[in-house]
Structure formats: C-alpha cells, structure tokens
Amino acid sequence: MVSKRYFYNLVIRLVLISLICFLLCLSFFIYPNYSVIIILGGLFIFQVIILIRYLNAVNKKLENFFLFYLSGEVTSSNVRRNKKDEFSPLYMYFDLINDKLEQARLKNEVQNNYFKTIVDETAVGLISFKTDGSVELFNEAAKKIFGMQVLRNLRKLNNIKDGFSEMLINMASNDRKLISLILEGELIQLATKKVKFRTMNEELHLVSFQNIKPELEEKEIESWQRLIRVLTHEIMNSMTPIVTLVGTIVKKLRRKDKPDLIEPGEVTPDIVARTVKGLDLIDSRGKGLISFVQNYRSITRLPKPDFKIVNIKDLFQRIVSLFEHQFEVCGIDLRINCHPSLFINADGALLEQVLINLVKNASEALDEIESPVVELAAHSVQDQMVIQVTDNGKGIPPEQLDDIFVPFFTTKQSGSGIGLSLSRQIIRLHGGSMTVQSAPGKTVFTIRI
C-alpha cells in the first residue's frame, strides 16, 4: 500500500546512520582523531534528528490523513493529494472506499426519505418514543388526530387525558387497547397497538393510533337497521292476523252494507263460535307479542357476573349430564376434549347457560346426519381461555352468518331468536368474545375469555 519513495527514504537514512556509526567506531578505536570523531559525531546526531523529524512528519501526514477522512470531506481529496507524497496510494484506496461509502450514504438517504414519506402519508397515527417519554417520531396522521404540530415528550398528551402518557409507556409489547378521547368536544375511539424494538443500544416504543369511530358508527347503524328489521318483522307477523281477525269479527256483528250492529236475537251460534275462535286467536297472538317483548327485556337486563374460579372439565361434565339421555336416544356422540387442570375466572351459572344453548343448537343441526358428533373442547392460549363447541352438521348458510347473533333472528319454526344474542352478551360481560365458523360438515362456535 505504501509507495517505494517512503521505503527508499527510510532505507537511505538508516544506511547513512549505519555508515557514520561505522566510521565513528573506526576513527575512535583504530585511527583516533578527535577532529574526525567530532565531525562524525555531529553528522550522526544530525542524521538521527533528520530521521526523527522525517518519521514525525510521516506520522503527522498519517494523522492528518485519517482526520481528513473522518471529517467526511470527500470532495477535496484530489486537491490535498500530492503526487510526491509517500502515501498517495493510500489516498487512492481510501478514495475508492469513500466513493462506496458515499453511494451507500446516498442510498440510505433515499430509503430514509422513502420511508419518511410512507410514514407521513399513512392514515395511521404513529408515535415512537424512548422509555423516558422523549418522542423520536410523530407523523402527520398523529398530528391530525391529537391536534398538535409538535410533540417532544409524551407528558404533553396528559393535557388530553390524565395518565395518557403513563398508559402508553406501560403498555406491553404487542398489546392492543381501545381508547376513548374527547378532542375538540368530540368523542373519538382510537384503536392502539404497541411494539418495542431496539436500535443500536437504545430501546424504542412504537404506538399506532387509528380512529375507528366512523367504522363503529357504521356498524352501530347497521346493527340498529338489522334489529329494527327483525323487530318490524316480528311485530307485523303478530299484528297483521290480529287486525284481520278484528275486522272479520266486526264484519260478522254488523249488518251487510250498513254500519248498524245486528240485534241480539240475530246472533247465531255460528257467529258466537266464529267470534270466540277469533278472540282465542287474538289472545294467542297477543300473548306471543307479550312473550316477544319479555324476551327483548331479558337481553337488555342481564345480571352482573359473579366471578369465581371454575374448573372447565367439571363444567363440561355437567353439560354432558344434562344432555346424556336425550343424546343417547338421538344417537348423538357428545365428546369432551379438555385437560382436567384448566380453570377460568367466570360466572359458572352464566357460562353454563351459554354452553347449554350452544350444545342445544348443535344437536338441532344434526338431523339426518350419519354418525352425529358434538364436541366440547377447551385449551389455553397465552392469557386466554378458548372454549369451542363443534358439530358435524350441515352448517350455517353463508348469508346467515352475519345475522345469527342479531336479537330475534331465527331460522327455526319455534325459535325465539335470542339464544345466541344472549350468549354473546354474557361472554362480553366476561370481557371475552364469541365467533363462529361454519362449513358443510363442521360448525365451530369459539369463546375466548
């Protein structure tokens, strides 16, 4: 790497010093001459000083060279390079390295600008911060959500909601939360998720914020529309025959084509029989409507859960005992797949009610099925208990999957349509969720608490 110039300079100076030393020794021991000794001694000292100055100059050049490249000045190296310099090849090699480093720097800068543009243009708010709360990233979407242009420390978010910054710092990695905030007098719902990562030797937290209030409002409107549709259908089913029967009875008790009522003597046994029959039907439909209203009240007045430690397998055994005789007659195989050491903090009576409803629905879906099977299974996934009720029936039509949890929606002749709605509300009171997956030959209701 070092040029021959440096090598030759060093060798010549060392040879001269060695030659002077030889002559000095010769004149001192063999041909003693004090004048020659003094002259040679002076030349020796002079050559040593020149060698030291040369080596210092070389070291200074190396020091300046590295300082020059460490300073990041990559455009003026040709000006500083001297063709007679001992280290001109070193400059050349480092220029090549510098070119590659500059290309890598430009590439990284382009990528950083690219990712910065993506981060700023995304509709999801992003805040990246250190453990002490100092903010590293605050994108445009987050600025719009929180109504501020600058955020240097999370503590500023406490002006929006008390303890907001501490909640974000204390969130676990991959944790999700739904946060309600009032901004500019308007309630918004933020779906948040947090991840932790390390950059160099520093831990950073990244929290995403998405305003889901419009989606929630849309779903709420859609749910109300479904509920109103079902309520209207049920009420019309009851009121239409009542109105028809009332009209028929009134018609029998009036004179033809006249508003006058018939005389008591004109009331025949046939008219009395038809009137009583009509009133019986009106009574029946009226009671059905009252029952419908009572069912509606039942799904709006659920009791608060009484949480206790419940053994899942014991709970399953109680369900089996309830259906054992019925399933034996129908030829249904009711299976349990659960480890005996699984426990859950829940209201055992309410959870049992949910499972009874699911098992009952599963059994009703197994008509005309060969080797019908209903399975109760449970397992633990991280901090969640997963309970599943599975059957091998015909399945639920895809167009009905969105409606089966809607109150009063039913495909059964004698069904009330509140069982699944009640069950889902009970699970929500436990802080859990209930979902369904269905295909011909397999339907799975999954409870996560």
Decide: helix, strand or coil at residue 252. helix
CA angle centred on 363, ends 360 and 369, rounded to 5° = 170
Angle, in degrees to the nearest 10, between helices 348-364 and 312-330: 30
pLDDT in tens, 256-306: 766 677 777 776 777 777 777 777 777 776 776 676 666 555 555 566 788
pLDDT computed for residue 324 by the predictor: 80
Q: First and final CA of the chain: distance in angstroms?
A: 70
Residue % of the chain over a pLDDT of 90: 3
Label residue 77 by pLDDT band (50, 70, 90): very low
Which of 115-129, 197-211, 219-233 is predicted least confidently? 219-233
Is residue 444 scored above 80 in pLDDT? yes
Which pLDDT score is estimated for 8?
78
Stated as kind and residue range, the H or E segment containing 308 is strand 308-311
Q: For the purposes of burial, counting CB atoms within 10 Å of the CB of 361, is it exposed (0-12), middle (13-18) or buried (19 or more)?
A: buried
Which tens digit of pLDDT belongs to each residue from 226-268?
A: 666 666 766 766 676 677 777 777 777 777 766 677 777 776 7
Q: Mean pLDDT across the stretch 312-317? A: 90
Token pair, residue 162, equals: 């008390």
Q: What percent of the chain has pLDDT over 70?
A: 78
* Distance, CA of 248 to CA of 251 (rounded, Å): 5
Q: Specify whether the CB–CB gap between 68 and 77 falls below 8 A.
A: yes
pLDDT of residue 376: 92
Tell me which residue of 24, 22, 17 sits closest to 47, measured CA to CA. 17
At residue 100, does pLDDT exceed 90?
Answer: no
Identify the DSSP state of 201.
T
DSSP state of 134: B
Least confident interval from 198-202, 319-323, 390-394: 198-202
Is there a contact between 444 and 389 (Cβ–Cβ < 8 Å)? yes
Q: Angle CA(418)–CA(422)–CA(427) in degrees, nearest 5?
A: 155
Lowest mean pLDDT, pick from 16-20, 23-27, 358-362 = 23-27
Helix ranges, 155-212 (H): 164-170
Q: Which two tokens stand for residue 154?
A: 């999370």
Banded pLDDT at 62 (limits 50, 70, 90)? confident
- Please state whether beta strands 433-439 and 373-381 pair in parallel, antiparallel, or not at all (unpaired): unpaired
Q: What is the pLDDT of residue 300?
A: 57
How far, in Å, CA of 404 to CA of 421, rounded?
Answer: 8
Distance of CA 413 to the CA centre of its chain: 41
Q: How confident is the model at residue 223 (pLDDT cuts 50, 70, 90)?
A: low
CA distance 418 to 296: 8
Q: What is the pTM of this model?
A: 0.45
